[in-house]
Structure 1
Amino acid sequence: MIKHSGKHYAQIIGSDVDYLLSVLENEIDDKSMLAQVNQSLKQLADVKFALDESSIVAVTDHKGKIEYVNDKFCEISKYNRDELLGKDHRIINSGHHGREFFRELWEVITAGEVWRGEVKNRAKDGSFYWVNTTIVPFLDEAGKPYQYLAIRSEVTQRKRAEQELKEMMVKVIEIQEDERKRISRELHDGIGQGLFSLLIRLDRLISDHNGLTELTALRSDVSGMMEDIRGLAWELRPSVLDDLGVVPAIRTYTDNYSQHFGIRVQLHCNLKSRLGIMKETAIYRVIQEALTNIAKYADVAEAEVMIEELPRKVVIRIVDGGHGFIASEAQRGVGLFSMEERARSIGGQLDITSQLGKGTAVQLVVPKEASKYQSSDAT
C-alpha cells in the first residue's frame, strides 16, 4: 500500500487522473482493462468535482488531524488551506456543544459507524455557522478506521429561521397566557363578583317575601352560574399558579379533575423550589393536557402524576394503564402540538410512549438552568 503524507494529500483526491492514466498505459497491456480503469478514474474525478461544487469536504487521519479540505471548507471557515492542514477541528470549535456531544461522536466513528448530525462552528473572523454533517470512517483490513471523510452542507439560514420561529412561539405562548390571565381575572372579579352581589340581593328578596318559590329557583340558577364562571376562570388560568406556584395549582387541579371525571389521580411530588412562571406554566399545561387526554381516551379509573426535582432538572411523568395507541398511526392533534411547543419554549424535552392495551406515559424534562431558546443560538 502506498502511503502519502498530509502535505501531499490535496493532490491525490481525483486531481491526478491524467497523470495516473499515462502511467497505467505503460503498465497495462490489456486494452479492455485499461478502458475500464480509464472510465473508473474519470468517474472518480467527476464525483469529486460534483462533491467539491456542492459540499464542504474534509478528510482527517485516525487521530482527527486534517489532511484535506476543499475550497468550500476554506470559504465558509475563512481559513486558508495552510492554516487548516495538520490541525484538528478544534480550530473551528464554537464552544456551543459540550464534551459529551463530541465524546459520543467519536465513539460512533471510531467504532466504524457513520455519524450524522448538525454542528455549530466558528469561522476565523469569529462568526458562527451551522453545518449538517456526515462523517464516514474508512476502515483498514482489520476493520479499524484509518481515515475519516466529513461531508457538510451549510444550514445556517435554516437554523436561524428555526430559532426565530422558536422565539416567536415563546412570544405567542406568553401572549396567550397573558390573555388567559386577563380573561380569568375579569370572569372572577367582574362577572363573578357581579353574580355574587346579585345573589345577596336575591337572599334579601327571598327573606322579605317568605321564601317565594320563583325567587328561590332563580337563586339556584344564579348560584349554578357562579360555579360555572369559577370553573371557567380556573380552566383559563388558576390564580394560585401565579400566586403560590405549580405544586398547589396541580394539587387543586387533580382534586377537581378526580371529582369531575371520577378518575383517581395519584400525585407524587418532591418539588420544593420555584422554577419561574414560564416553566411552571408549561408544567401545569402539559399535566392538564395529558390528564384531559386520559379522561377522553384511556378508559381508566386511575392515573399517576409524578413531579421529581433533581439537582439540574425536574422530571414530570403522567402515566395511565389504559387503551394506549400505536405512535406511528396516531394523529397529531392540537393537544400534542401544544405540549411539544410548550416543552420547546422552555428548553425542555417531551417524550410520549404508548402500547396498545398497556397505557401511555408522557414525560417532560425541564432544565433548571436558563433555556437555550431564550437566547440566540443561530448567530
Structure 2
Amino acid sequence: MEIERVRTRIASDLHDDIGANLSLIAGLSDILRQQLPSSDLRISERLSLIASVSRRSVDAMSDIVWAINPNRDQLSDLTQRMRRFATETLGSRGIEFRFDSPGLDHNTNVSADVRREVFLIFKEGVNNIARHSHCAFADFRIESDGGMVLLKMSDNGVGFETAGADWGQGLASMRKRAEKIGAELNLISSPGRGATLIVKAPLK
C-alpha cells in the first residue's frame, strides 16, 4: 500500500507541476510567435521549435504519469489507451483500423513496467504504420492467456524485406523494450504484402 501511495503522489506531482509548466511554455511560445513581426522569421522558427518540443514533452510526461499510476494497473486501461492513440494517429491520416480484444478479461492486473513497455511498443508500431506503410487499413488484436498478453499489429501496406534488415531506430527501440520485460517480438513482412508485428509478454 505504501508503494501505491508513493506512485500516486509521484503521478500527481508530475501531472500538476511539470506537465502544467510544459504546457505553459508551449502556450507562451505560440503567443510570442504570433506577436512577432513577419520579418523575424528566425526567431519565429525557434519559438515554434520550443512549442513543438514542449508539446512532445507533455505527451511523454502523460505516458509516464499513466504508467506509474496504480489506478491504471488493469488491462482495460492498456487497451483504452491503445485504442485512443490509434484513433488519434491513424484517423488524422485517413487510415481505417480495427481494434479487437476477444475474450480479454479487462480486470486482469498487469505490472506497471509491462504496461508501459507494451504500450510504447504499440505506440511506435502505430507511428511506423502511419509514416511508412502507405496502408489503407490496419488491424490490431490483443489477447491474454496463461499469464501472458499477446499483441498483434498488421497492415496492408507496401511491406519490406526483413531478411538482413537493420531494424532501423524505431524497430530497434521496440526490440529493446521487449527485452526489458522478457517479451518475444517477431516481425513478419515482405515487399507488397504488408507487415505484421507480434509481441508476447508476461503480465507481471
Fold match (TM-score > 0.5): yes
Alpha-carbon distance between aligned partners in 1 of 2:16 and 2:117, rounded to the nearest angstrom: 18
User: What secondary structure does 1:261 align onto?
Assistant: coil
In terms of Rg, which structure is larger? 1
Which amino acid is 2:20 matched to?
Answer: D
Specify which of 22, 34, 38 is matched with residue 191 of structure 1. 22
Residue number among 260, 267, 287 corresponding to 2:92 in the alignment:
260
Q: Say yes or no: does 1:293 pair with 2:118.
A: no
Q: Does 1:321 align with 2:156?
A: yes
* Structure 2 counterparts to residues 9-28 of structure 1, below 5 A: none
Deviations 1:54-85 (A, max 9, x none): xxxxxxxxxxxxxxxxxxxxxxxxxxxxxxxx
* Identity across matched positions, percent: 20
Other-structure match for 2:81: 249
Unaligned runs of 5+ in 2: 1-9, 36-43
Pairing of 1:170-249 with structure 2 (within 5 A): 186=18, 188-193=19-24, 229-230=54-55, 232-235=57-60, 237-238=62-63, 239-243=65-69, 244=72, 245-249=77-81
Instruction: Give 1:268 shift.
Output: 1.3
Equivalences, count? 169
Tell me: higher relative CO, structure 1 or 2? Use CA pairs within 8 A at least 6 residues apart: 2
The answer to whether the Cα contact below 8 Å between 2:26 and 2:54 also exists between their aligned partners in 1 is: no
Asked if the contact 1:241–1:248 (Cα under 8 Å) also holds between the matched residues in 2, the reply is: no
Looking at structure 1, the residues matched to 14 and 124 of structure 2 have their Cα atoms a distance apart, in angstroms, of: 21
Letter in 2 for 1:192: S
Please tell me whether the aligned partners of residues 264 and 303 of structure 1 are also in contact (alpha carbons under 8 angstroms).
yes
**Pairwise CA RMSD of aligned residues?**
3.4
User: 2:187, 2:195 within 8 Å by CA — same for their partners in 1?
Assistant: yes
CA distance in 2 between counterparts of 1:231 and 1:321 reads 29
- Contact 1:304 1:320 (8 Å CA) reproduced: yes
Contact 1:317 1:363 in 2 (8 A): yes
- On the 8 A contact 1:289/1:335 being kept in 2, the answer is yes
Tell me the amino acid that sits aligned with residue 234 of structure 1.
D
- Whether contact under 8 Å (1:184, 1:237) holds in the other structure is no
1:240 and 1:248 in contact (8 A); partners too: no
User: 1:194 Cα deviation (Å)?
Assistant: 6.0
Q: List runs of 5+ in structure 1 lacking aligned partners.
A: 1-177, 203-214, 371-379
Quote the Cα distance in structure 1 between the aligned partners of 2:79 and 2:174.
19
Does structure 2 retain, via aligned residues, the 8 Å contact 1:298–1:322?
yes
Partner Cα separation in structure 1 for residue 26 and residue 169 of structure 2: 34
Aligned partners of 1:326 and 1:276: how far apart in 2? 34
Provide the rounded CA distance (Å) in 2 between the counterparts of 1:342 and 1:184. Answer: 28
Cα distance in 1 for partners of 2:188, 2:136 equals 20
- Tell me the distance in 2 between the aligned counterparts of 1:184 and 1:355: 46
Which TM-score applies when normalising by structure 1?
0.39
Deviation sequence 1:132-169 (CA, Å, 0-9, x none): xxxxxxxxxxxxxxxxxxxxxxxxxxxxxxxxxxxxxx
**In the TM superposition, what is the alpha-carbon distance from 1:320 to its structure 2 partner?**
0.6
Q: Which residue of structure 2 lines up, in the alignment, with residue 348 of structure 1?
A: 183
